[in-house]
Homo-oligomer: A and B are copies of this chain.
Amino acid sequence: MIAVLKQGTTEEQITNLTHWFEEQGVSVHKTVGVYQTILGLVGDTSKIDINLLEALEMIEAVKRISDPFKMANRKFHPEDSVISVGDVKIGGGNFAIMAGPCSVESEEQIIEIAKQVKAAGANLLRGGAFKPRTSPYDFQGMRAEGLELLLEAKQETGLPIVTEIMNANHIPLFENVDVIQVGARNMQNFELLKELGKIDKPILLKRGLANTIKEWLMSAEYIMAGGNENIILCERGIRTFETYTRNTLDLSAVPMLHELTHLPVVVDPSHATGVARMVEPMAYSAVAAGADGLMIEVHNNPAKALCDGAQSITPAQFAGITGKVFEIHALMHK
């Protein structure tokens, strides 16, 4: 960390500031220029509050050189983390596809889709029971009843399930869920993240719709700091000015995350684009970028999907994609 001091800072002020840094356990190296004095801070600066420093009268600028995330940081954990979900593994060369409908609608629907996506090669079943909707007048999901139906589909097919949580009070309801998803709108719901840090179930942490990679890793750090290191990151598009797609899928985040963190990264091309026709090319593109898995929305009757229908593909279309997905994955790892 670098602190640039304003012109006119006195020697006494510099001495006091230096002592304060040393009390925080970092050592200080001073560079005196004509216009500026620069303090180079060496040691564990992850716990120094950059805003606090910037507020000091004598400070012109503070620049953090090293990353503020520690447990998620690849520097301190060079090997890929592999997340196990039943027999399925994600990360470290292990690839998994999560597929299923946006919302669970009925027993028949979810079991039928579960069988079809399993037959087409999916490794996990996804489906929404608790649904975050922009409008209070839109369908809010089957909630607890939807979780029951997902568990039935799991029993029927053997596929582990992944589904979204919106409220820490619901954690007990998720006891038999295999992977708990934190949606984009809750990526910085820190109270929820803290509670998820206390359990040991894998968490699929979606990127917030306008959050930086650094903020995303800090949210992972919240869960990890609580003790739960089973985290899968999920890129699902960011908000930009472009309107042809619902969001802009940021695929360069995949190799960037692989450099910054040891956690696996999956990609959701369905929510990212909001256009069913874009799911296939973006699924291939994500795998070629190095993704450790995909999350794909599949619906047996897209015309009747109760939410987010525009981004759903049919089981038949899904079955037409998985083959090439596995071929690309194989090509990337040969």
Contact = CB atoms under 8 A, between A and B. Distances in A.
A133 B259 contact: no
A52 B306 contact: yes
A120 to B, nearest CB: 19
A304, A310, A312 — most chain B CB neighbours (10 Å): A310
Interface string A149-173: 0000000000000000011110000
B210 A210 contact: yes
A221 B286 contact: no
A215 B242 CA distance: 10
A296 interface: no
B245 A256 contact: yes
Contacts of A290: 281
A281 B255 contact: yes
Nearest to A331: B327
A187 to B, nearest CB: 9
A46 B137 contact: yes
A228 interface: no
B256 A250 contact: no
A266 to B, nearest CB: 15
A198 interface: no
A137 B287 contact: no
Interface residues on chain A, size class: 35 or more
Mostly, the A contact residues are mixed
Contacts of A66: 35-36
Contact of A331 (B29, B168, B256, B324): B324
Contact of A310 (B54, B259, B273, B332): B54
Interface string A203-221: 0000001101111001001
Nearest to A57: B303
A121 interface: no
Given A29-B38, A132-B190, A243-B243, 16 more contacts: A31-B40, A51-B305, A51-B307, A55-B310, A56-B309, A132-B188, A135-B221, A136-B218, A136-B222, A212-B244, A238-B241, A255-B282, A281-B288, A284-B289, A285-B285, A288-B289
Please name the 8 residue pairs, one residue from A and one from B, whose CB atoms are nearest each other, closest first: A55-B309, A210-B210, A33-B42, A29-B31, A31-B40, A288-B288, A285-B289, A54-B310
27 contacts: A31-B31, A31-B42, A40-B40, A46-B135, A49-B138, A49-B139, A49-B307, A52-B307, A55-B276, A57-B302, A136-B190, A136-B194, A136-B221, A166-B191, A168-B169, A212-B241, A214-B244, A238-B241, A245-B256, A248-B250, A255-B278, A255-B281, A281-B288, A285-B285, A285-B289, A287-B288, A288-B328
Interface of A: 2, 4, 27, 29, 31-36, 38, 40, 42-43, 46-47, 49, 51-52, 54-57, 60-61, 63, 65-66, 68, 132-139, 166-169, 185-186, 188-191, 194, 209-210, 212-215, 218, 221-222, 225-226, 238-245, 248-256, 259-260, 272-273, 275-278, 281-282, 284-290, 302-310, 312, 324, 327-328, 331-332
